[in-house]
């Protein structure tokens, strides 16, 4: 019997499952099979993005499971994101429509601004999404994310998306957005794992009734990422003897301990996997709780080190990581 994943009530009254499947770098057949397996194992929250180039696969898997009668459309919470090159208001609606067409769905449950920085629009193909200048830096635009947000609010009013949120925003950017929005963001999706546990940002967001979705919750073990690079990544908690010992106590793996820790911090982790055993393990975290002592051990890994530093866009005026949180 697949575990039942609890949900959290968002600030607009809608429900979002507290654990999801991440799909970054899950392409082609791998993407389809991972999402199908995840749905069979009880996942009801799937995270994708235009930039990942796998919305087609996610949609194909979801539609197949609807056709099989395993789920109804309203049972599954689909998240996708508007990419940095589509921040100009005139591109936002088109970007959303392209995502809807890719997914083959009538609406998106949650649409996020992927990063606060807007980049120059170069086109819609995969090669157009990450154009760099001669110095290997992003080609920036001066689009204000507040204008992007206004265009996102229109999508809610049109019924194309149910909820809107942000990703990789810092507390100052959120404060500015909250002061200038009609519809509040329901979530801020950020890197969150024992190495960067985001306690300050979680607390800030809690005060404003915004949930934190945790990407790279396991600290990206084994990942070769051509986009952000993987040099200088902090050592993660997964192979630490103390975490292994905590896991033994509950008959859980170190990965399950880490995901449980993030749940107890109040975040919504979205671990990525395409292996059935791992997909199964990652959702099997709702039958135990960590003690205060366990939490102290897990807190000890926090260095603030990022596995997704995104330094090639660090000269952008809206680059978010110049602040502590």
Judge whether 310 lies within some domain.
Answer: no
Q: Which class for 98: exposed (0-12), middle (13-18), buried (19 or more C-beta within 10 A)?
A: middle
Q: What is the pLDDT of residues 202-238, one digit of tens each?
A: 999 999 999 999 999 999 766 565 565 555 555 579 9
pTM of the model: 0.96
Q: Please answer whether residues 53 and 125 qualify as being in contact, where contact means their C-beta atoms are separated by less than 8 angstroms.
A: no
Residue 287 in any domain: the answer is: no
In a domain, 76, yes or no: yes
E strand or H helix at 90: helix 89-103
255 in a structural domain: no
Statement: residue 135 has pLDDT above 60: yes
CA distance 245 to 254: 8
What digits encode the pLDDT tens for the residues 71-120? 999 999 999 999 999 999 999 999 999 999 999 999 999 999 999 999 99
β-strands 77-82, 108-113 pairing: parallel
pLDDT in tens, 226-279: 565 555 555 579 999 999 999 999 999 999 999 999 999 999 999 999 999 999
Is 23 inside any structural domain?
yes
CA distance 259 to 254: 9
Q: Report whether 114 belongs to an annotated binding site.
A: yes
Predicted local confidence at residue 27, as pLDDT: 80
62 inside domain: yes
Our count of domains for the chain comes to 1
Q: For residue 158, what are the domain limits?
A: 7-234+266-279
**From 24, 43, 52, 111, the catalytic residue:** 52
For residues 90 and 83, what is the distance between their CA atoms, to the nearest angstrom? 13
pLDDT digit string (tens) for 160-216?
999 999 999 999 999 999 999 999 999 999 999 999 999 999 999 999 999 999 999
**Catalytic residue status for 52:** yes
Give me the chain's average pLDDT, please. 95
- Please provide the DSSP assignment of 2-43 as one string: PPPPPEEE-TTS-EEES--EE-TT--HHHHHHHHHHHHHTT-
CATH number at residue 149: 3.20.20.100
Length of the chain: 325
């Amino acid at each position: 019997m697949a575990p039942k994943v609890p949900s959290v009530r968002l600030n607009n009254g809608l429900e979002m499952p507290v654990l999801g499947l991440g799909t970054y770098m899950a392409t082609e057949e791998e993407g389809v099979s991972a999402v199908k397996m995840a749905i069979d194992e009880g996942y009801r929250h799937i995270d994708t993005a235009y930039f990942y180039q796998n919305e087609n696969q996610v949609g194909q898997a979801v539609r197949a499971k609807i056709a099989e009668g395993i789920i109804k459309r309203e049972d599954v919470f689909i998240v996708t994101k508007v990419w940095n090159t589509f921040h100009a208001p005139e591109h936002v609606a088109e970007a959303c429509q392209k995502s809807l067409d890719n997914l083959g769905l009538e609406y998106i449950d949650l649409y996020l601004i992927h990063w606060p920085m807007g980049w120059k629009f170069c086109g819609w193909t995969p090669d157009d999404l990450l154009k760099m200048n001669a110095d290997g830096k992003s080609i920036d635009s001066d689009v204000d994310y507040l204008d992007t947000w206004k265009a996102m609010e229109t999508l809610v009013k049109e019924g194309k998306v149910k909820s809107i949120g942000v990703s990789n925003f810092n507390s100052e950017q959120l404060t500015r957005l909250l002061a200038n929005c009609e519809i509040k963001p329901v979530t801020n999706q950020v890197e969150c794992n024992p190495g960067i546990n985001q306690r300050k940002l979680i607390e800030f967001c809690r005060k404003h009734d915004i949930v934190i979705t945790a990407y790279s919750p396991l600290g990206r073990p084994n990942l070769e990422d051509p986009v952000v690079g993987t040099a200088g990544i902090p050592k993660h908690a997964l192979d630490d003897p103390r975490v292994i010992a905590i896991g033994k106590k509950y008959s859980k793996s170190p990965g399950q301990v880490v995901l449980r820790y993030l749940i107890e911090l109040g975040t919504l982790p979205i671990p990525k996997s395409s292996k059935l055993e791992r997909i199964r393990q990652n959702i099997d975290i709702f039958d135990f709780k960590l003690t205060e002592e366990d939490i102290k051990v897990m807190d000890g890994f926090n260095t603030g080190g990022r596995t997704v530093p995104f330094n090639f866009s660090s000269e952008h005026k809206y680059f978010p990581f110049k602040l502590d949180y």
